[in-house]
Amino acid sequence: MEELGRKSISQFKLAEKNPVILILDNVRSMHNVGSIFRTADAFLAEAIYLCGYTPRPPHRDIQKTALGATESVAWTYFDTLLEAVLSLKDMGYEIYAVEQADPSISLSHFEMKAHTKSAFIFGNEVDGVQEDVLPYCTGCIEIPQAGTKHSLNIAVAAGIVLWKISAAFLEKSIENT
């Protein structure tokens, strides 16, 4: 790890964070939750909000894929998705649902505004983002797909979205290391 120049947990906690919060709503799989924690760590995400029946750390099945990222990435639990969304809106965040909805924009056309605090909702693996929360969102983002399936694994989708929206922030962070 020293050769890779990775941060310790204390260095991670002190590092400037990517002003992005991931919201996981009613995600069933502990492995998906752990994988998203690990991805959030890789991209220096500010936090993860866990809502509804989404499993919460500590749990060995989350830890199995998180590989310790539950210790580095800040997280908060909310009973409902709407509670989390309204809290973030009050703090000035733009909220985006990652969902195939009308209207959604392709992730390939989505541009993060500089210095904007943003949150991205990832919904249940089967049902997606709750429809009654969509009116509270700034917009919906859809990951373009060309195969026979209509969706991606939630952990894969979170990785794709975080990579796309974090490119400029990551370059700056790596240069400052």
> Nearest Cα to 46, choosing from 124, 117, 123, 136?
117
30, two tokens = 């502990």
pLDDT at 2: 64
83, two tokens = 């509670």
pLDDT at 175: 63
163, two tokens = 């990579």
How many whole angstroms separate alpha carbon 147 and alpha carbon 156?
15
pLDDT at 67: 92
Quote the pTM value. 0.92
How many whole angstroms separate alpha carbon 159 and alpha carbon 78?
22
Residue 147 has pLDDT above 90, yes or no: yes
Name all domains of the chain by residue range, CATH numbers in brackets. 9-175 (3.40.1280.10)
The model's pLDDT over 59-114, given as tens digits with 9 standing for 90+, comes to: 999 999 999 999 999 999 999 999 999 999 999 999 999 999 988 999 999 988 77
Whole-angstrom CA distances from 56 to 47, 59, 61, 71, 134 are 13, 7, 10, 12, 24
Residue with tokens 């709407």: 82
